Amino acid sequence: MKNQNDRFTERIDELELKVSSLDDALEKLDQVVIKQQTQMDALISEIVTLKQSSTDGGLAAPRNLRDDLPPHF
């Protein structure tokens, strides 16, 4: 029969394993968030560049894709 100290020790060991696992998961999620933020920053920069490069500032009416078809279609 286990005494109370053994049960407490087992419980503490289980909790330490859970904390360690959660800490690892948190670190992985943190890296994902950092990567996503970097990607979003790059996309925002690209959108700003595209808007600045258009002659109308990106405010023109959408083009009809049929206008881009070659005459033989």
What would the pLDDT profile of 7-20 be if each residue is shown by its tens digit?
999 999 999 999 99
Q: What is the pLDDT of residues 46-55, one digit of tens each?
A: 999 998 887 6
Mean per-residue pLDDT of the chain: 87
List the structure tokens of 19.
């904390």
Mean pLDDT confidence for 32-59: 87
For residue range 57-73, list pLDDT tens digits in order. 556 666 777 777 777 75
Burial letters 8-43, b for 16+ CB under 10 A, else e: eeeeeeeeeeeeeeeeeeeeeeeeeeeeeeeeeeee
Instruction: Supply the pTM of this predicted model.
Output: 0.59
What six digits make up the tokens of 65?
A: 């894709």
pLDDT of 70 = 76
Q: Do residues 54 and 60 touch, judged by C-beta distance below 8 A?
A: yes
For residue 32, the Cα-to-chain-centroid distance in whole angstroms is 6
pLDDT at residue 51, as a whole number: 87
